Structure formats: structure tokens, C-alpha cells
Structure 1
């Protein structure tokens, strides 16, 4: 590889650190050249925008209302996603672009992209049901990305980026909340424990594929308390719209199984850090103690009535709450940036050494 490509890589990383500034103290002698994300709408930064068949889109108002002048980018929130917040935390850059963004430039690839697709899950039936990009196809996109990297910086520097980047995986909510409970597509085939095993197996297989591609730092979000999502409260929480215990219990069981499997993988995949990231308990704590975190509404979204509005039901005709930062949820499924900031700050600081090593 020529000097120009080498210089391009390290100058890009240096400039990003100088402009953005790392918010979290990295372990000694540890760098994070890029963040690479696979998953669902929590971390989709615009990949669904040009999908022709799916209804799972948000490239319209009021989504993105508080980001870059209020122009919707395909992020399922009012501003930044966890992926955006993490690249800032790692001092890499300000926003994490979507891999399918038509305006994506070669230099953007060096510091990371999101392959995520809103509505997807580990269960192949979930992406089929929602007409979105499956996790398997996201892996294909990642492989394509790696080949593009090689053409830009060569084999050696591509290996360096893949080996040292953080891979973030965020899925399972749609599998549990939609495919299993709401649509009931898997209920005749699996009980909750066996379906959790099925999802964990799918997740594990993806991690092994990432490892074979050179990934050594993999962080996996567990399932949130899906029974406390505003839409689930509305659909199954009764007249009082309580959190749905059955849904939450399924999420907790899945998380227990996932945590155990990730611990096993971290021990058996040589020189790897495979970290389970607990999202359930931090989010549930916010829901139980909203005022402690500066929120006054945690059972409704900011968009429309807040009971059911999400994707196309949350649109330019929907009014939004006057104080976005006081609502935990933007629509009936997805948190506001204010909610994400609290979660990301907590999980990064509690898991940084587990994700990166060096501590």
C-alpha cells in the first residue's frame, strides 16, 4: 500500500479526534478507528429510506426535528441515535452515516457506518414480515464494505480497521414484540424459552461470522423492557396501560441466555472481547424513576397522542410535545435523543473496558 493511503487513514482518525474530541476515557494504548453497526431501528441512520416495499421508514417530519435544521434523515428519533452518540463518545466523528446513503463518500467508510435496518431482527421471519434488510443481508453489506476498504487503504490497513473497530449489534426487540407476541408467527413452533434460545443461536452465529471476518471487539445490546414501550402498553396493558409483564419476562429470559452465550464466546474466540450490554435495567430504572433523570413522561411518545404513533403514523400532521427532552420516547417505540444520551453514557462508562480490553 502506498504512503498516500496510509496517511489518509491516520490523518482522518487524527482530525476526527481533534474536531470531535473523545468524551470517554479510553484504556491506555487503545484506539477505536471506526464503529460498525448492525441491527434494527434503534441504530438505523437511513438505510431504510430507499427500500421500495417497506412501511418502516421515517425520512419525513417530525422525525429528525432536532437534527441538522430539522431535515429528516431516516433516524427513528428526533435527533441522534445510539450509534451517533457512540462515535462521538469514542472521539471518531459527529454522526454515523448509513451505508446505503447515496451521498456516502469513501472517506466516510474509514471511520464507520451503520448497516442497520429498522424493523429487522435475528429471526429471518421478522425482516420478511417487515420487508426490510435482514441481518444476513447486513452481513453481506459488511463484506462488501470490507472490499471497498481494501480498495481505498489496502489489505493491511483494512485488517487494522476491522481488528480494532467496535462492532455494535442491536436487535431482538422486533422479534419478541412483533414476530412472537403481536403477530404470533412463532407461537405454534416455540414457547418463550425455546424462542429465546433460537434468537440467541442466531445472534451467536453472526458473531462467529464477524470474528471470521476479523472483528475482535463486539458489543451486543440485550433486549429492553419491551412491555413498557408505549405501543405495547396500549395494545396489551389494559385500560391503565401498565407495562406488560409477559413481554418483559420474555425479554429478561432472553437477556439471561444471551449474556451467558456472549460470555462463552468471549472466552472461546481467541483474543476477542464480546460484551453483553444490559439495556433492560437502565431503561427500566428510568421508567420507574423518571424525575431522577429529568423526565416527566415515560409512558407515551412525544409524537401525536403518544399511544400508538410510530413510523408512518407519526407524520407531518402529528403534533409533537413542546418539551422534547422531558419525554423518554419520541414515538410509541423509539426513545428521544435525551433518553438515548442517558443510556449510552451509562452503558459506555460501565462497559468500556469489557468492550475494548486494556483494563
Structure 2
């Protein structure tokens, strides 16, 4: 009798285990199928991981103290003390720890299969923005993406390459330099009033997104502008003796963001191929809150950068010979007068990921 009961228990266990395995295997397979295979990033210095190292431009940072907190204290060309948003997002999505620049280094098969950044510090949606400082335009970045896809096909084969292109996440982060540099700082677009220039930049952004969709992208996130008037460089340039936030610049960012968001919504309905998901990503609101309520995030300084005086140092002027670094970088939101510290980016990305659910 005891033997019969033991046999029955064993038989039931086998049935349960079989059912569990059969149920778990499809679930695991489904998870693998739905996992984002790669991350591709286009844009400006916020997400450049070193592409500018490979071109002739002054907009670069492949020297100390940049990269102070990157592994090996390596100045890779990332415009921060450590990781930048592409790295952080790739890590949070479980893709890889660092998102490499497409240019300037030999990429492994793994890097080709899991994504790169084509971003170039100093560019904008307005092609003139990049041309003024001799960096990659957004169309140049699309040309590199086209070249990348050929390399991907050679590594993965046509079918798998097509899946990677269509199933991956695309981040587009630019537009700030159009307003902060090209419009407000130089005279070259003054044939536009501010309102019409914003419309022009939004049209350029729309054109870029259409081209990206035409190249096979189906999950595209487009970031808006930050509170430009509160960036340390703009406080110095136009914030008066007290270096206040520049209300006009912030209002321009608000108007630009509203129109960009509306255009992304319109493209989602009228121009997106089946299966496309376009999202507008709000950078303005969370970053402004970090600037205005620093203690809530563990920051002490948000009106200047960690590098040097923090009032004007950025790229070539933030170097080991002219600029000391603040004692505790984690107390600073900004690394230089344009870009956040790694900790700042981590907190910002955490809020964005929570809100938009990448």
C-alpha cells in the first residue's frame, strides 16, 4: 500500500513538472522574443559617446577631467564625468553596460548586434547648427545608420538584421543647441523671428523622424528640450549679474516642446507604418524640478558646473590644465556648463523610465 502511494506521488509529480515545464518554456521563449534586442541613439552631446573624436571639430572632450568617473578614468568622448544617457538606458533595459560610439573604434559583432550611438556633440535638427561647429548633421547620422545596417546584415544575416532594426528602441535627443546656440547666440538665423524658427526646427524634427521610419525603425522616442534658460552656460550668457534662469529661453523651450509633442502625435496617426510607436519624452519637467528642488535629490549646486568655476567651462575650456574639479561631484547636478553629471543623468533617466516604461 505504501509502495502504491509512493508510486502515485511520483507519477503526480512527473505530471506537474511536465505541465510546469511546458508552460514555462513558451513563456521564456515569449520573453526572449519580446526583449528589446538593441538600442540606437541619434542626437547631440547629451548622448554622444565619442563620435566627435573621429571628426575634425573643436566640440570634443576626449581628455581629462572628462571621464573622471568612467571605468579606468577614461575620457572616451562622453560629455560628462562618467556614463551618459545611452549607457544608462542600455543598462536599465538589460542590453549592455555601455552604448559605444559608431565612429572611432572597431566595433565587435556584439556591439553591432546590440546597438550604438550615432550622436554628435554640437548638432541640432537645424542642419546649420552642426555646420557652424563642423560636426555631424542629423542627416549625416542617418547616413551612418544606413552604413551600419549593411554591417549588421553581414554579421546577422538578412532576416535577423531586419528583426533587430524593426524591434529595437530608437532614442532621438537633440534640439537644445538649435535654440541655445544657433538662434540665441549667433546672428545666422535672425531672418526668422523666434516663433517661426521654432516652427522650422519642429519641421526639421518631423522630417528626421519620417526618414528614420523609412529606414525601418518602429519604436522611436523623441526627447524635448530641457529648461535651457537654467543651464549654467545660459545663466552666464544672459542671466544678468545674479546669473538667474533666463525666462525667455525657458519659454522658448516650452513652446518648442509643445509643438514637437503635437507633431509626434500627428505623425503617429498620419505617417507611421503599422506597428509603429512614436513617443515624445518630456525632459523639461523633471529636470526643472531637479534644478529648483536640489535637496530633494541630494544635490547642493545646480546653478554652475563641477568643472572649474562652473560658470563658463565646457569642452576645451574644461581641461586638466585650466580647471580643477569640485571636491564632491555627486553634490553637483551639472558636470560642466552644459551637461549633467553621471548622477544627474541617472536620476533623470530613472524618472523618465518610470514614466514612459521603456
TM-score (norm 1): 0.89
After TM superposition, give the deviation of residue 29 of structure 1 in Å: 6.6
Distance 2:298 2:106 in 1: 37
- Give the alignment of 1:191-340 within 5 angstroms: 191-268=193-270, 269=272, 270-317=274-321, 318-340=323-345
After TM superposition, give the deviation of residue 27 of structure 1 in Å: 9.4
After TM superposition, give the deviation of residue 267 of structure 1 in Å: 2.2
Extract unaligned runs of 5+ from structure 2. Answer: 1-29
For residue 188 of structure 2, give the secondary structure of its aligned residue in structure 1: coil
- Which residue does 1:10 correspond to in 2? none
What is the RMSD of the two structures over their aligned residues, measured on CA atoms? 1.4
- Which residue does 1:176 correspond to in 2? 179
Residue 160 (1) aligns with residue 163 (2): yes
- Which residue does 2:354 correspond to in 1? 349
- What CA deviation, in whole Å up to 9, does each residue of 1:326-347 have, x standing for no partner? 1000000000011100110111
Residue 70 (1) aligns with residue 73 (2): yes
- Which residue does 1:85 correspond to in 2? 88
Higher relative contact order (CA 8 A, sep 6+): 1
Distance 2:73 2:43 in 1: 24
Distance 2:34 2:105 in 1: 32
After TM superposition, give the deviation of residue 152 of structure 1 in Å: 0.9
Residue 151 (1) aligns with residue 154 (2): yes
Moved over 4 A (4+): 26-29
Distance 1:154 1:242 in 2: 55
- What CA deviation, in whole Å up to 9, does each residue of 1:157-194 have, x standing for no partner? 1110011100100101110000000113212x211221
For residue 49 of structure 1, give the secondary structure of its aligned residue in structure 2: helix
Q: How many residues align?
A: 326
Distance 1:303 1:216 in 2: 39
Distance 1:327 1:116 in 2: 25
Task: Determine which structure has more spread, i.e. the larger CA radius of gyration.
Answer: 2
2:65–2:81 Cα contact (<8 Å) kept: yes
Select 2:133's aligned residue among 121, 126, 130: 130
